[in-house]
Amino acid sequence: MVRLRRFFHANPELAFNEFKTSKKIQSELKRLKIGLSVHAGTGVLGLLKGAKNHTACAIRSDMDALPIHEKTGLEFKSRVPGMMHACGHDVHMATVLGAAKILAALREKLKGSVKFIFQPAEEVPPGGAREMIKAGIMRSPPVKMIFGLHTDPNITTGKIGYRDGVLMSEVLDFNLTIKGRGGHGARPQDSIDSIVVASQLLNSLQTIVSRIIDPHYPAVLTIGKIEGGTARNVIAGEVRLRGTIRATDNRIVKKVRRALEEIAGGVSKSFGAGCVIEYVAGYPALRNNSEANRLLVETAMALFGKKSVVMLPEPSLGGEDFARYLQHAPGAMFRLGTRNRRLGAIYQWHSEKYNSDEKAMIFGSAILAGAVLQFLNSKG
């Protein structure tokens, strides 16, 4: 697993371009004599047939990296400038391949099949899960339960975190364009300055969560990117904003969306500008199944003791398209503790210094394999 993780980490690839990554995964599955097929361009499905093949349990990993320039100083740091595995997907892939090796060695004891799903493009909505599901990977044999994992730099190595119900929020991304009227910087009276409109709009949007949404419901509206203007003496005729809405309740997402439209339209109109909002398909909220969590927790405790499990009191406002699989089969995602201060594995996801303690993969692979074994044998 260490060898694989370091290969993936050194060779990051962005969404739907995980060609080298896909080839490596296919090679490992072939070596384990696990049947495979390729979907959604670079996605890989491994099928391990057990003693009975009427039903299946699945384990999913994501594959893509992020457009971040790495600053970890690791010996196996990214070889690709501007690309980095800064969200733990390198660890996910290696851990799931570790679970595949364990289960392949136990195939005669499996009362069902195991599907190993390696999907592209988790980081870019609408994501790769949707394409994999469209390709039929949840059928033939039908997946009756699915497990996933995500590294967590806030949980110490040797522990996993779990939560019944909502683990991660719904995501709705949007592109907002302000259309003013460009002109000479010395003659603002002849123009509609879209940069000024954007600056007023940014301040106004901050009131949505703070003054419109009930504080008992977690929600976020973030503008992460602004583009506009061409020169210091030119009034910009158009400004483009890129943002995201996050909430654990779909009703709150809808309320934030309505407020965004009303405020953006009103502020733009007050300056004589226009406003266009385009919504990018996001992710549903990730809701863990309590029975799937029970299998994970019981396995972790049996293998590593009661102190190896931590209940997560609050959901995260991060998004995950693992949620799409849970719309087709019950399942759960757990948080794999990867925090190790001595190794510098303390930075948050999407940081240029993000790193994971590789010892965590021992716990992740064993817990995944054990939960699958328990589920299939209970159904046999």
Distance of alpha carbon 16 from alpha carbon 300, whole angstroms: 33
The question of whether 358 is a catalytic residue gets the answer yes
Among residues 122, 131, 238, 358, the one annotated as catalytic is 358
Alpha carbons 204 and 109: distance in angstroms, whole number = 60
**β-strand partners of 174:** 243, 279
Note if 108 is an active site residue.
no
CA distances to 189, 199, 213, 240, 322 from 253, in Å = 38, 24, 10, 22, 19
Q: C-alpha angle with apex 370: 366 to 374, nearest 5 degrees?
A: 175
Exposure letters 220-256 (e unless 16+ CB within 10 A, then b):
bbebeebebbeeeeebbbbbebebbbbbbbeebbebb
Rounded distance, CA 219 to CA 255, Å? 10
Within its chain, how far is the Cα of 27 from the centroid?
Answer: 25
Beta-carbon contacts of 145 under 8 Å, excluding residues fewer than 6 positions away, are 57, 58, 289, 292, 295, 329, 330, 331, 375
Say which of 162, 283, 325, 354 is annotated catalytic: 283
Q: Which residues pair with 148 in a beta bridge?
A: 60, 333
- Tell me, what amino acid is at 78? S
Just list the catalytic residues.
283, 358
